[in-house]
Amino acid sequence: MWRKGWIGSLVVGIVLIGILWVKSWVGQAGADEAQTFSPEQIPAAASYRADVRVDMKTHVVTGTLTVRFAPQDDKAYFHLYPNAFQAKADLSGENWEQVLGKQREPGNIQISEVRVDGQSVPVQLKGELDTLLQVPLIGKSAAHQTEVEMRFALQVPFNNGRLSYNDHAMWLGNWLPILSVKGEDGWRLDPYSAIGDPFYSDMANYHLRVQLADGYQLASSGIESIAVMTQTRPQRQTIYEMDAWNVRDFALVIMDDTYRQLTGKVGDVAVRTWSQEGDDPAAVDRLHQVAMHSLHYYGEQFGRYPYQEYDVVKTGGFFGGMEYPSIVFIQDDYFGRTDPVADAIVAHETAHQWFYGLVGNDEVREAWIDESLTDYATMAFLQSVDPNRARGYIQLRLRQSKTSAEYAAQGLHVWQPVAQFPTWKSYTDLVYGRGAAMWWTLRESWGTDQLHHLLRKYVHDNQYAQADGKEIIDLLSHAAGADATPFIDFWLKLKLEQADAAETWMQKGKHE
């Protein structure tokens, strides 16, 4: 996600320059170019098949889901995130209001007819708000794939969040039941939270069959350009069949015929930017250009974008932008005006395709991993396009980072679970501000080449998998030839007395 809490100061801080995309794009990856594998080449931990029917009038999505995976325990859990928005949920308070807005209608997901390898099992809902489905797998072995089937009925809530709708579109983020991750020390069953992107999932293959009334179109984490479309008569429905290989989630946006697409190519990747008639054409074109150029830049710097498509879609929402595999949601405000903030939002969501998408992490306990790297990448991209124009953004993050002493005094730091941040501001200042400033400071000391070499290695070594904070310490320690703990302690644990030790470590690690 991208936090908009600071838009006011960013707009003030940026000097808008009229001509932007004149710079040529010079390859820098060089001899150590890290290859990312194609998603079809890698076996995925699970495969999901969903057959769904979308009713745009009632905002109900019904269907079946079949998931095949190797059991890791005598049970499995599926997150049922939409139940966080059911009528009985207490979503009061300032933090929820920032996410959901004031105007809301509840939603939920109902599960029925759960089967394990064809055998019916009871529907066991867990968690305070039934946001988990527990599926018994007694006697199942990790040596064999197990198949869990279920029926579901999703009433899409109406609010300002990641799963909602308006008169022209419905955007489905974190909507399908999704397997919980089992870590070395147990299941990750964290509930939805107001602050952060409280998600964590493994790579999976998806095959979706989506039935929609005529007059609608869709964009998704799957590959729409090779979707099989079937028209049904006389029901006047279109059925789309789509695949996605090795993605951590499957997001879907359904749009009416007011939506238009701009298309382009970055290498072999089809980039589509979805806007509506009546949007400012200059703003739309600009968002599309940022999507294409940033995808290209990150590909050179951090490793090839391995998926076939990338969709940038106008949705409602509170979030500025919200990342999903091969698709990002961009808040509608940015399609109505040429706004420098929009550059940063699209560049940020695009960078998440590497940090979150290709390399995952536990976004509940270690939100700093993907957000700090993503926002650092955003800064690097903006800087590469126009240093003068990037200055406002970079200064803003460095300023946010300097507020850390106040947070340290309250016992807060960067490397803590999302639920421990008391406010959106504290989360933004620490995870985005302090986190990104850490990488930026390292770049200023080591230089872009040395840092990006390291980040290419990070992406290469962890592609299609998960990374954690300990691995980042190891990576930094290895690169520097000295234990990076003081550096991490200073920046992320806010042990501010470690400032000198952090500086010494950076100096030691610098390649001359």
Minimum CB separation from Zn ion for residue 484, in Å?
A: 23
| Non-local CB neighbours of 176 within 8 Å, separated by 6+ positions | 48, 50, 65, 250
- Measured between alpha carbons, how far is 431 from 361 in angstroms, rounded to an integer? 14
Strand order in the sheet with 132-136: 124-126, 132-136, 75-79, 178-179
User: Six-digit token pair at 490?
Assistant: 């200073």
Of residues 64 and 423, the one with the C-beta less far from Zn ion: 423
Q: How far is the CB of 354 from Zn ion (least distance, A)?
A: 12
Q: Which amino acid is at 233?
A: R
> Least Å distance between CB 6 and Zn ion?
14
259-318 residues near Zn ion, rule: CB under 5 A: none
Q: Are 415 and 365 in contact (CB under 8 A)?
A: no
What tokens appear for 45 in the block? 């931990």
Rank residues 1 and 242 by Cβ distance to Zn ion and give the closer one. 1
Residue placing its CB nearer to Zn ion in the complex, 201 or 498? 201
**Torsion angle in degrees (nearest 10) through CA of 391, 394, 400, 405:** -110
Q: Residue 355 or 490: which CB sits closer to Zn ion?
A: 355
- Residues between 189 and 218 with contacts to Zn ion, criterion CB under 5 A: none
- Partners of 312 in the β-ladder: 273, 328
CA within 13 Å, CB half, 374:
32
Nearer to Zn ion, 210 or 467 (CB): 467
User: CB burial class (10 A; 0-12, 13-18, 19+) of residue 369?
Assistant: buried
Neighbours of 191 (CB within 10 A): 16
Nearer to Zn ion, 46 or 291 (CB): 291
Interacting residues with Zn ion between 365 and 424 (CB under 5 A): 371, 374
Nearer CB in complex with Zn ion: 1/291: 1
Report, in Å, the least distance between residue 231 CB and Zn ion.
Answer: 38
String marking each residue 219-248 x if it binds Zn ion according to CB under 5 A: ------------------------------
Total binding residues for Zn ion by CB under 5 A? 3
Closest approach, Cβ 1 to Zn ion, in A, equals 4
CB nearer Zn ion, residue 200 or residue 446: 200
Determine the Cα–Cα distance for residues 262 and 359; give it in Å rounded to an integer.
Answer: 28
The residue at minimum Cβ distance from Zn ion is 1
Residue 67 near residue 46, CB atoms below 8 Å = yes
* Percentage helix, strand, coil for the chain under 3-state DSSP, each rounded to 5: 35, 30, 35
Residue 233 beta carbon to Zn ion: minimum distance, rounded to whole angstroms = 44
Q: Which helix (H) or strand (E) covers residue 110, if one does?
A: strand 108-116
Q: Is the dihedral of CA 268, 269, 275, 279 positive or negative?
A: negative
Residue 437 sits in the site that holds Zn ion (CB under 5 A): no
Q: Whole-angstrom Cα distance, residue 395 to residue 13? A: 8
By beta-carbon proximity to Zn ion, the closer residue of 108 and 374 is 374
- Beta partners for residue 149, in sequence order: 66, 115
CB of 352 to Zn ion, least distance (A): 6
- Residue nearer to Zn ion on the CB measure, 212 or 373: 373
Nearer to Zn ion, 202 or 375 (CB): 375
Q: Could you say whether residue 1 binds Zn ion (CB under 5 A)?
A: yes
Residue 29 CA to residue 452 CA, distance in Å, equals: 9
Q: How far is the CB of 394 from Zn ion (least distance, A)?
A: 17
User: Shortest approach of Zn ion to residue 400 CB, angstroms?
Assistant: 14
Closest separation between CB of residue 348 and Zn ion, Å?
6
Nearer to Zn ion, 86 or 201 (CB): 201
Q: What is the DSSP letter of 469?
A: H
Contact 32, 349 (CB under 8 A): no
The verdict on 346 binding Zn ion (CB under 5 A) reads no
**84 contacts 192 by C-beta, under 8 angstroms:** yes
Distance CA 488, CA 486 (A): 6
Smallest gap from Cβ 341 to Zn ion, in A, equals 14
For residue 199, the minimal CB distance to Zn ion (Å) is 12
* Helix, strand or coil, per DSSP, at residue 209: strand
CB 50 within 8 A of CB 160: no
User: Around 463, how many Cα atoms within 13 Å sit in the side-chain half-sphere?
Assistant: 22
Instruction: For residue 323, give the 3-state DSSP assignment.
Output: strand
> Beta strand 359-360 with 465-466: parallel, antiparallel or unpaired?
parallel
Binding residues for Zn ion, per CB under 5 A? 1, 371, 374
